[in-house]
Structure 1
Amino acid sequence: MSEDLPRPSATVPEGDPRAIVLSGPSAVGKTTVMRRLRAEHPELLIAPTVTTRPMRRGEVDGSPYYFVDDVTFNRKIEHGDFLEWAVVHGTFKYGTPRGPVDEARDAGRSILIEVDLQGARQIRSSMPEAFFVFLAPPSWDELVRRLVGRGTEDEAEIARRLQTARDELAAESEFDLTVVNTEVGVVCRELVGLMGSSPDPARRH
């Protein structure tokens, strides 16, 4: 039997251009949603990510990653160029540059920022006026299936990942709106509506 997840109520912005921050637990499908948005809605403004990891085959600098060395990244930190940044898996640095977000808002356009929970909390501190969207799984059972479905982790690693997932889900109340990822296309339509037009009240959670 699936464990239902709580859904907070929220006030949705009525066509007000702003930074919209999308976050949620690991394995909830953020990367898949962002890939679909970029493919189907190139007109949307999506904040890029600056990273120190090497460029992979088929990637293009600036879409969606800007690739820099550690010296450049650290200089950007010192200059306050990031809305948020972190070291991921103890190796490479990732950060959301402030410039594109400020430029979008100055032009009266909404911009979407996809980050992990730590990044969302950093942005909450530096830009509290942003609108925060929590991408949630349909149920706890479904998230467990996605987290451990590969069958490559031992019991200790599975236990660690599940505890992390519970901690991340507990942060849902920190967000302005929850969108349940039952189907990627539905999530994309929700985000497009938030960014570009007055949302249908029937879609409120």
Structure 2
Amino acid sequence: MQGSGPTASPLLIVLSGPGGSGKSTLARLLVEQDDRLWLSRSWTTRSRRAGELDDAYCFVDPARFDAAVEADEFLEWAEFGSDRYGTPHPAPPPGCDILLEIDVQGARQVRRRHPEALLLFLEAPSDRDQAHRLRGRGDSEDHVRTRLSYGASERETARELGAVVVVNADLAETVAAMGRIIADHRERLAAAGSPSGPSAAPPYPGRASGGGGSGAAR
């Protein structure tokens, strides 16, 4: 999948990052400011968190999730602890690019199927910030420790996949930085005639910053 204009096939954008990095908030704001972005709704077997929006995920039981896996209904799926998450094969509106908010396990699967996808990796400024955000959304201390320990391997996987890394220190600046990265990628594809494959990946530096200050919880 790649996109250079309203008649091109859609660009596939993957937003990954550790729990508490702010992915959900960032994804929502990116879609609000860019009418060419369509956010794919993921499935999960976990319970809805207190205060979580009804459309945050499609909440299903394990049996329904297993049936979807067997029927190859997912572009990618991954497991974290006892919970599973999956992305149905996307069907965006005409003229829209696709934004996936998934973890790095899913990003690896998407890269394998769609090497031309733009991979973005969001991280909190520090483990302390990440832990604060996780607790703020109601995660247990055991879950916070698990998420923090998993973060190092997630960052390593993101580097292996060649993802563009952005530090979510200030939410407004992070949204602006991500928006610029996506816009620049579209322009590069348009100028190059929308090539597909790994050579289509833009030569961005491996790390960018969203500025100083305090970011929002996921």
The aligned counterpart of 1:69 is 61
User: Which of 119, 124, 130 matches 1:146?
Assistant: 130
The aligned counterpart of 2:115 is 128
Amino acid at match of 2:77: W
Amino acid at match of 1:66: C
The aligned counterpart of 1:165 is 151
User: Which of 140, 146, 163 matches 1:176?
Assistant: 163
Superposed counterparts of 1:75-86, under 5 Å? 75-86=67-78
- Comparing 15-24 with 114-123, greater Cα deviation is found at 15-24
Contact 2:31 2:38 in 1 (8 A): no
Gaps of 5+ in 2: 189-201, 209-218
Superposed counterparts of 1:77-96, under 5 Å? 77-91=69-83, 93-96=84-87
Superposed counterparts of 1:1-205, under 5 Å? 15=4, 17-38=10-31, 41=34, 44-54=37-47, 59-60=53-54, 63-91=55-83, 93-100=84-91, 103=92, 107-138=94-125, 142-147=126-131, 150=135, 153=141, 161-174=147-160, 175-195=162-182, 198=187
Residues in 2 aligned to 1:75 and 1:86: alpha-carbon distance in whole angstroms: 15
Q: Per the alignment, do residues 108 and 195 of structure 1 end up closer, same or farther by CA in structure 2, a change over 3 Å counting?
A: farther
The aligned counterpart of 1:4 is none
Describe the superposition over 1:31-53 as per-residue Cα deviations: whole angstroms up to 9, x where unpaired: 23224335555663111112234
Q: Per the alignment, do residues 14 and 111 of structure 1 end up closer, same or farther by CA in structure 2, a change over 3 Å counting?
A: closer
Describe the superposition over 1:70-99 as per-residue Cα deviations: whole angstroms up to 9, x where unpaired: 3332222122111111233314x3211113
Describe the superposition over 1:117-172 as per-residue Cα deviations: whole angstroms up to 9, x where unpaired: 2111121222222111111333xxx2334326859738xx8765543222222223
Cα shift at 1:179: 1.9
- Comparing 127-136 with 162-171, greater Cα deviation is found at 162-171
Q: Per the alignment, do residues 134 and 53 of structure 1 end up closer, same or farther by CA in structure 2, a change over 3 Å counting?
A: closer
Residues in 1 aligned to 2:123 and 2:68: alpha-carbon distance in whole angstroms: 32
Residues in 1 aligned to 2:96 and 2:181: alpha-carbon distance in whole angstroms: 11
Residues in 1 aligned to 2:144 and 2:61: alpha-carbon distance in whole angstroms: 33
Q: CA RMSD in A?
A: 3.6
Contact 1:86 1:94 in 2 (8 A): yes
SS in 1 for 2:122: strand
Contact 2:18 2:147 in 1 (8 A): no
Amino acid at match of 1:79: A
Amino acid at match of 2:100: I
Q: Per the alignment, do residues 137 and 55 of structure 1 end up closer, same or farther by CA in structure 2, a change over 3 Å counting?
A: closer
Number of aligned residues: 179
Contact 2:124 2:130 in 1 (8 A): no
